[in-house]
Amino acid sequence: MQHPANKPVIGISCGDINGIGTELIIKSLSDARMLEICTPVVFASNKLINFYRKSVPELNLNYQNTKDLSRISPKQITLVNCWEEEIAIAPGTLNELGGQYGIKSLLAAGTALKEKKIDGLVTAPIHKKNSQTAEFNFTGHTPYLKNLFGAKDVLMLMVADNMRVGLVTEHVPVAEIAKFISKEIIISKLQLLKESLQKDFGIDKPKIAVLGLNPHAGDEGLVGKEEEQIIRPAIKDFKQSNGNVIVFGPYSADAFFARGQHEKFDAVLAMYHDQGLIPFKSLALGNGVNFTAGLSGVRTSPDHGTAFDIAGKNKADETSFTAAIFACADIIRKRQEWEEYHRNPLKRMKDKFLANAEDEKIDIELEGN
């Protein structure tokens, strides 16, 4: 998909209409930098945007309406009306309507991404309790997008600057986590993480740390057997079949982040949700982004939920949402660079030869001076 000025077209779903999603969209897109790095396309409705505009009167959001995604202007924010009917918007309320129309937005945006009418997707938060319906029988964005793109596996990867934390298991009850930890699953997640670091973040030979499941990484079997029986063998097998990646572990999760060891790695693979997200959110300081690795399309989201308690009160902090848009644009460009670089081996050899020749020329000129 080619767009004017090489700016990616990024779709944005509104999330639960009673949550903070629409307020975040208005605040983030009011930033003048947005149209410099991407062409935003919001999947929502005029009435929804206008409703939440009243709660942020100090901001002026200008946009055009369209139903034809082939006629998007790179100089304007575009709104795609996903519904025309009047609906009752009740900020801060968890009800059926909020989830229903949030999913309408997501389905339209997801379809546009699948059909390559947009280059990337940023999703505002939905709530698991009111989003599941016969039309949307998924527990959240990630399983929906995995199914939509027919991906064999995906990886929830939290990103903030140079800090990246992936999860082996996601929304699993703590009492059942160990059941979902297997050698095959860990290897699959490591493979996804390696490929994403290379294609999406431009790291040719990534360095990955793997955390243990139990306290003190099992203490050599005294506090759990998973490290010795599952995690360590998975790391060993993965390293043997992936020579262009460095993997260490399992590390004791408590000391790992406290000692700043994450700064020595390109990414960390945690065994479960809170093990990875508590330190990540503590260190990311509101700049965190959730990226779904393993999809052929690029999808990011903020690292928080619907925040019903502050919805419609002009209290929502757009930092993470803005970071999600920037990250989406960055990953799209990194993928384009990776694909271009790997499309033509002869071109890679020529580029390397020219780069070496230029280096030699500079050396000669320096010697002459």
pLDDT given at position 341: 84
Helix (H) or strand (E) holding 209: strand 207-211
Task: Check whether residue 299 and residue 323 sit in a common domain.
Answer: yes
Q: What is the per-residue pLDDT across 121-171, written as a single tens digit (0 to 9) for each?
A: 999 999 999 998 888 899 899 999 999 999 999 999 999 988 999 999 998
Task: Tell whether 146 and 2 lie within a shared domain.
Answer: yes
Q: Give Cβ neighbours of residue 179 (< 8 Å, ≥ 6 apart).
A: none
Among residues 287, 305, 322, the one where a domain terminates is 287
Q: Are residues 159 and 135 in the same domain?
A: no
What phi and psi values does residue 308 have, to the nearest 5 degrees?
A: -55, -30
Listing DSSP states for 104-164 in one string gives HHHHHHHHHHHTTSSSEEEE----HHHH--SS--SSSHHHHHHHHHT-S--EEEEEETTEE
In terms of domains, do 136 and 81 share one?
Answer: yes
CA distance 202 to 198: 5
Identify the pLDDT of residue 232: 97
Q: How far is CA 73 from the centre of its chain?
A: 25
pLDDT of residue 4: 45
What pTM value is reported for the model?
0.89
What is the pLDDT averaged over residues 180-204? 97
pLDDT mean over 62-81? 92
39 and 76, same domain (yes or no):
yes
For the purposes of burial, counting CB atoms within 10 Å of the CB of 314, is it exposed (0-12), middle (13-18) or buried (19 or more)?
middle
- pLDDT for res 2: 43
- Say if residue 161 is in the same domain as residue 273: yes
Instruction: Give 306-340 pLDDT, tens digit per residue.
Output: 999 999 999 999 999 999 999 999 999 999 999 88
Token code pair at residue 92 = 């801060």
Residue type, 369: N
Do both 281 and 315 map to the same domain? Answer: no
* Chain CA centroid to CA 268, Å: 15
Residue 207 and residue 229 in one domain: yes
Residue-number span of the structural domain to which 261 is assigned: 153-287
**How many domains are contained in the chain?**
2
CA distance 289 to 85: 33
User: Are residues 12 and 125 both part of a single domain?
Assistant: yes
Mean pLDDT of 178-204: 97
Mark whether 87 and 157 lie in a shared domain: no
Tokens 């959730």 -> residue: 290
